[in-house]
A and B are shown apart, each in its own frame.
Chain A
């Protein structure tokens, strides 16, 4: 068990360029030091608790928005840039990077490395769906590019996707190129009280409407339409005619937030999209569970207490019957050290072989992900 003293001894360095980052990593290769990574620090309570490392590299000094090709709906940004800064820059051209993770202060590198997503994933998907090119730096300082700056490209292996959600354990995501979307000009939000989010959403969808997001917080289904003015108002009318509720132009304040308060225990439960009722029933068995789900996506998030966490194994068993998995998405370090954060992983032997190829000495972010070390 690492003591606080050893963790505190990890030196925090902040390279100002990708070249400098590569030099630093090459130097750690030379003397075998282990490396931790840090962006804005919004996911310190997520992922594996991690082992103490000899050095921690902050990406915050590598934060340029390299190129915004507005006519091509593409942006290239360095890992340390904040998502909010990227949105501000591309927003000037009426565009947006269609990612809305609750951790709004996160860096681009952090969003990609943790595959963070928010409610609009219903329409736009998750970081893997928008990343079209990347520059990565491996543990030994090797800098490599994959993908490109055009939306359509099948040349070579897709390293960008492989690094997405890898928690820094394959290397550093140093630069990303994303596909952008036009920012919709109008929004309508339909709020419908219901204790049956699945039935309610199915009825709503049967009218042919296409919401960008649908979130249920335990009592209320919030359905978001974003498009042209006439399209959102007509879709909101159709939705209300089908399932009731009221329409407004802004989302409730709790919309798009995590189910748990920062530093508390939170679970992410995935399931077959059509098995939402069964998945909710399995989660609701846990004492004091507060749920929030991305309806239509197959994702439930739940805030639980220590007693609820004690039921993790039985929840995993119930959810695996729905083809789902349960990840301890947030918890204090000491809690995450004591539980199996990830649960059973399909294909783990192959993942370990990938890890061993990219980081043979196991120096990158040890303990932060499913692989060893």
Chain B
């Protein structure tokens, strides 16, 4: 019997057999996450229903030397939950209890399979909400958000998942269960939470999270400003930031993205706009009112030709619907597309957008831009038609966009994660030594390298090696410099 067959048999006897999937047609449901261009059929899928079950499966993986991949709703956009044919896919979506919502403590305790938006729904009657709001929040899970350090439109003001997790229960890659942090702040010891959040499932499986809840702001104002050109919209963003206003969100869409959104969900954005800016302000009513005046003035100053202010939640919802559906909407105007997630310093916005347009135009392709303008997180959508043989050109444009981000001092990923997709770019952003040092953390958690192997790091390191290891005497000692102090 193979190790995987052994593990499957063990899981069937320990869990309800219906929780263990090996039927090929059913396995195919799990062969990709939100980035469907990468597919791999998992060896076996286990639908865990408790921490103990996760610990059992992972523990058996450790004993048998089988790799495992954790998965929530499978909405990730970097192939982080891409399964292994020689491994187990541990699905946490049935671990979906909201264990506690405590307004006085400003904390919620949830299982990893809880859907992001459901937590805010539960906290809302108590006057609170959960701040990180990825566009997939109606579907994506807190466990996946923790793995990816997910952001969302409102992270400009309120931060990412890492800012909102105060405690975790983790099934370690050896099958043991560890708890870090809790409901109180500043847990004593190394900031393990900081390391685990955003580790993309390479340090273990999170089975419970304690997260901050924020108070629902007293007032919210959502402004939609239309500009003739994307440069004008970019100027408005710079002016708002320079004026010392910190909006909850500043989102930008270009003409192509607007066209797609109109085709899909009819947000009825102003006709003839080369770009629209969505600015959301929240906080105490007096502060929001004052900032609203500023934002209107600054948008007019940057040549906005139409400004709308949402009168109520319905109008606000419509403005946001166009933005949050933009990725899917692009399917209406192009058979295929690649989404990038690079980040640039905000001040380089106009320059990088121009360069992206040139790169795409040079090979006869179009790029739609939808992005978190406040923090420079681009989401260029490279449109192409595989049937017309444009795939390779589109990939070339996509890679060039990442390089442009790095050339301007940015990052290869702002919120989608490295996963499988951007592994090849890690070596462009970090040196081999940087990556080696990061993997010291991996070695502390997962010396056998069975937790989501192949993701995030281009080259696994052998635990026990020192980064950039030097053998023999250090050159400085030989040079007589060691006794310099």
A interface residues, Cβ below 8 angstroms from B: 11, 13, 23-24, 26-27, 29-31, 55, 69, 71-74, 94, 115, 125-126, 128-129, 136, 138, 140-146, 148-162, 164-166, 170, 181-185, 205, 208-210, 227-228, 230-231, 234-235, 268, 270-275, 297-299, 322-325, 327, 342-343, 345-351, 353-358, 360, 369-371
Contacts and interface: CB of A to CB of B under 8 A. Distances in A.
Interface in B177-192: 178-192
Interface residues of B, number: 104
A155 to B, nearest CB: 5
Contacts of A298: 184-185
A142 B186 contact: no
Contacts of B311: none
Interface of B: 102-107, 148-149, 151, 155, 159-160, 162-163, 172, 178-195, 197-199, 215, 217-219, 238, 241-242, 244-246, 283-287, 290-291, 343-347, 372, 375-377, 409-418, 422, 426, 429-431, 433-438, 440-445, 456, 463, 466-468, 470, 473-474, 476-477, 481-485
Contacts of B477: 27, 30-31
Contacts of B468: 142
A272 B172 contact: no
Given A161-B162, A230-B290, A94 B244 contact: yes
Contacts of A231: 284, 286-287, 290
Contacts of A73: 241
A144 B437 contact: yes
Looking at B290, B481, B485, the one whose CB has the most chain A CB atoms below 10 A away is B485
Contacts of A234: 284, 286
A160 B406 CA distance: 20
Contacts, number: 298
B184 A27 contact: no
Most B CB within 10 A of own CB, among A154, A235, A354, A370: A154
Given A323-B184, A325-B188, A347-B180, A29 B474 contact: yes
Given A26-B474, A129-B163, A370-B188, A152 B440 contact: no
A272 B437 contact: no
A15 B13 CA distance: 62
B372 to A, nearest CB: 7
23 contacts: A27-B485, A55-B485, A71-B347, A72-B346, A74-B345, A136-B437, A144-B431, A150-B411, A153-B410, A154-B198, A155-B411, A155-B426, A161-B194, A208-B219, A228-B290, A272-B104, A273-B106, A327-B188, A346-B181, A347-B189, A355-B190, A357-B463, A371-B190
B195 A346 contact: no
B351 to A, nearest CB: 12
B485 A11 contact: yes
Nearest to A185: B244
Among B102, B184, B418, find the residue whose CB has the most chain A CB atoms closer than 10 A. B184
B189 A148 contact: no
